[in-house]
Amino acid sequence: MDIVVGVADMKVSNDPDAALITYSLGSCIGVAIYDPVATVGGLLHYMLPDSKIDGRKAQRNPCIFGDTGIPLLFKEAYKIGAQKNRLKVIVAGGAQILDQTGLFNIGKRNYTLVRKIFWKNNVMVDFEDVGGSVNRTLRLEIKTGEAWLKISGIGLKKI
């Protein structure tokens, strides 16, 4: 059963029959984490890097922003048994409109943010597919930890 992670949304699961999927990432970033021992997976789809722009909205929905959504993703996965040192981490998305000169560079800023947070917290990224101007869909199977990336128009690949 596919559990859909919407835009500015996050789900964790330890249900072996479930898969987490998030569609059409655009400039947003999808972060998938998986612990093969606990068979726990989590998937976050955040839209913007920094919650400082509107703290109230971040409180209402931390998953809008990377800086509030990413820690929450890890915490929720820990609650159902995941452990940090076992986690496999995937990052996808952060696409941009062509000719970036600044303002519309949300994709790149989203990516910089996740790198910064992972750097600070000693989290290694196992696989990433970011940038360019393509739409990505990311799917994580809980039972096996197998992850699939679909690039719109190009096709599906196993990570």
Q: Which residues bind other proteins (CB under 8 A)?
A: 6-8, 23-28, 47-48, 53-54, 57, 61, 64, 93, 95-104, 106-107, 132-135, 152-154
* Residue 63 bears catalytic tag: no
Q: Is the dihedral of CA 99, 104, 50, 124 positive or negative?
A: negative
What is the distance between the alpha carbons of residues 152 and 98, in angstroms, rounded to a whole number?
17
Which residues lie across from 92 on neighbouring strands?
30, 129
Q: Which of 5, 28, 43, 142 is catalytic?
A: 28
What is the distance between the alpha carbons of residues 76 and 137, in angstroms, rounded to a whole number?
22
Report, in Å, the least distance between residue 42 CB and other proteins.
Answer: 19
* Nearest CB to other proteins, comparing residues 37 and 98: 98
The H-or-E segment that residue 76 falls in is: helix 66-79
Closest residue by Cα to residue 137 from 153, 121, 114, 113: 153
Report, in Å, the least distance between residue 139 CB and other proteins.
Answer: 15
* Nearest CB to other proteins, comparing residues 23 and 111: 23
Report, in Å, the least distance between residue 40 CB and other proteins.
Answer: 26
First-to-last C-alpha distance (Å) of the chain: 20
Report, in Å, the least distance between residue 58 CB and other proteins.
Answer: 9
Residues annotated catalytic, as ranges: 28
